[in-house]
Amino acid sequence: MTHPRRFQAAKVLITGASRGLGASMACAFAAEGAELIYIGYRVRESEARQTAAAVGEAGARAELLGFDVRNPEDVTRAFEHVGKTSGALDVLVNNAGVTRDSHFPLLDEEAWQDVIDTNLNGAARCCRAAVRAMWRARAGAIVNVASAAGTTASPGQANYAASKGGILALTRTLAAELAPRGIRVNAVVPGLIDAGMTTRLDHRMLELRRAQIPLARLGQADEVARAVLFLASSDASYIVGEALTVDGGLSL
C-alpha cells in the first residue's frame, strides 16, 4: 500500500506509545514520512523499544522518551530534551491513559486522583510544554485522545469518564486560544477498539457491548491511527476544536 507523505520531515511526540493505540500511531506517522518520532512511555521500556524498532522499519527515526505525565518536572525535562535534540515539535498526540475502574461508592481517593492526574492533568501538562515551542513557530498540531466514555454514561468508570470528558472540554478551549497562533487542537474519540484497555475487559461484557455496535465489530488500532493522522495533517487545516468519533456507530 502506498502512503501519502503528509508528514515529510515532521517531528512527532506520542505519549503512551509503547503499545496498543500509541504504537499503531507511531508506525502510521513513520509510514507517512515523519522524520523523528518520540516514543513516550512511563514504565514499559521493553515494549517501547519494540515500537521504536517498528518505527525504524517503517522508515522513520525513533527516540525513546521515558517520563511520567503525572510529574510536572518530568514533563518539563522531557520537552526540554525534545527542544534540544530536534529544535522543533510539529505534532503532539496525548495518548497516555490509565483506568482504575470501580463503582463510585467504592472508588477511593487514590484511584480517582491517579486517573484524573494521568489522563487529564497529564495531557494538559504536555499541551502546555508543547505550546511553548509551537508558539514561536506559529505552527503545530495537537491531537488529544478522548473516549466514548467521556460523552456517554460509563458505569463503574466515573474517574475515567470525568477525565475523558475533561479532555474534550480542554480541547475546545485550547483550540479557541491557540488557533490564532497557527496551532490546531483537536480530539479523537475512540469507541471499543481491539487494543489496549479493551483487551482487558471481561469477555461477557465485551460481547454485550459489541452487540450494540452498528458495524457489529470492534475497531482496529490502525483505524484510530488514521483518524489521528488526518487531524494532525494539512488535510484538516481548517478544522479546530473538533472531536472525531471513531466507534463504529456505538454512540448513535
The whole-number average pLDDT for the span 238-251 is 96
pTM value is 0.93
**Is pLDDT at 249 greater than 80 in this prediction?**
yes
Report d(CA 45, CA 137) in Å as an integer: 31
**pLDDT of res. 209:** 76
Lowest mean pLDDT among 53-67, 99-113, 118-132: 99-113
**pLDDT of res. 5:** 86
- Per residue in 159-216, pLDDT (tens digit) is 999 999 999 999 999 999 999 999 999 999 999 998 766 656 666 767 777 788 999 9
Indicate the average pLDDT of the chain.
93
**Contacts for 12 with CB less than 8 Å, ≥ 6 apart:** 26, 29, 34, 36, 37, 38, 89, 90, 91, 92, 93, 232
**pLDDT of res. 116:** 97
The whole-number average pLDDT for the span 16-21 is 96
- Per residue in 195-206, pLDDT (tens digit) is 766 656 666 767
Question: What confidence tier does 83 reach under pLDDT thresholds 50, 70, 90?
Answer: very high
Percent of the chain with pLDDT over 70: 95
**pLDDT of res. 32:** 96
**Is pLDDT at 1 greater than 50 in this prediction?**
no
Report d(CA 54, CA 51) in Å as an integer: 5
Q: 113 and 163 in contact (C-beta within 8 Å)?
A: no
Report d(CA 126, CA 12) in Å as an integer: 13
Report d(CA 35, CA 25) in Å as an integer: 14
Radius of gyration of the chain (CA): 17
**Is pLDDT at 46 greater than 90 in this prediction?**
yes
Report d(CA 120, CA 127) in Å as an integer: 11
- Per residue in 54-81, pLDDT (tens digit) is 999 999 999 999 999 999 999 999 999 9
Ordered by start, the domain boundaries in the chain are 11-242
DSSP 168-226: HHHHHHHHHHHGGGTEEEEEEEE-SBSSGGGGGS-HHHHHHHHTT-TT-S-B-HHHHHH
Which CATH architecture fits 11-242? 3-Layer(aba) Sandwich (3.40)
Catalytic residue among 38, 41, 160, 238: 160
**pLDDT of res. 3:** 57
**pLDDT of res. 156:** 86
**pLDDT of res. 212:** 85
Q: Is 238 annotated as catalytic?
A: no
